[in-house]
Amino acid sequence: MSNILVFDSGVGGISVVREIKQLLPSVSIDYLFDNLYYPYGELDEVTLIQRTIAVIDCVAIEHKPQLIVIACNSASTTALPALRAKFDIPIVGVVPAIKPASKLSNSKVIGLLATQGTITRDYVEQLKINHASDCDLVNVGSNELVAMAEALYRGGKISQQRLLDICQPIFEQADVMILGCTHFPLLMECINQIKPPSLVIIDSGLAIAQRVKTLLDARVVKTKAPNDFLNHRALYTKSINDKSLIAALFSEGFNETTLITLPRG
């Protein structure tokens, strides 16, 4: 049976998990979120790299995934090279879909909605230079939107007016908007209610799921036999007192929730 690890700071990576489950229904998924260090969009690069390595290291030793998905743009745009150097397991990262956006845009003005960390990364600047040199990029970095997605996932309400205020610079200028944070697809229904009808929205979820499938197929990893138990676990680094989050995780299809304690040092 295939078993993969999907990683993020909070519940955002679940938007990627949904795409993977859709495409690969017989793969067991450990979803690890580092809620102790959330939000990653506010961490500096050194902390992000060290922390991501430490958490993945701890979980990978025990859980032995066949593949890891860093379902976090903030971490992927910073820590991917270090992670790939350290771990001998295929690692799929999630980075803003600038290349497909530039191809889709007619006006050649594309919007990037991401965390404040991600919009400042050299990695993103390089993506623009390599794949969208003919486009203007309207960057909106918002950590508040991440918190709004966390609240909505727990069944809370968010302000549509606030959402509109944050997205407005992109709505006014661009014809394609990239969701450059895995939390933001969780806001999709709300965004659809306020976005200009002609604005095209893209995120990386499906492309990531397809990449995972390609890599698992290439490794000829056995998929689930009929009687194998499909196990989806939610793992986290700070205990959760929030009943609405636990309920949301179970209704998402996770059948186990476990607190991970990192060794000191």
The footprint of ligand DGL (CB under 6 A) covers 8-10, 12, 38-41, 72-74, 115, 118, 143, 146, 181-183
CB of 118 to ligand DGL, least distance (A): 6
CB of 20 to ligand DGL, least distance (A): 15
Between 2 and 97, name the residue whose CB sits nearer to ligand DGL: 97
CA distance 127 to 46: 21
Tokens of 209: 């799921």
CB of 228 to ligand DGL, least distance (A): 30
Cα Rg of the chain (Å, integer):
18
CB of 36 to ligand DGL, least distance (A): 12
Q: What is the largest CA-CA distance in the chain?
A: 53
CA distance 62 to 64: 6
DSSP string of 88-141? SS-EEE----HHHHHHH-SSSEEEEEE-HHHHT-HHHHHHHHHH-TTSEEEEEE
Does residue 262 come out as left (phi exceeding 0), alpha (psi in the -120 to 50 range) or beta?
Answer: beta
- Catalytic member of 58, 72, 135, 167: 72
Answer yes or no: 181 catalytic: yes
Tokens of 84: 């790939």
- Catalytic member of 135, 167, 181, 190: 181
CB of 134 to ligand DGL, least distance (A): 26
- CB atoms closer than 10 angstroms to residue 88: 8
- CB atoms closer than 10 angstroms to residue 130: 11
Active site amino acids: 72, 181
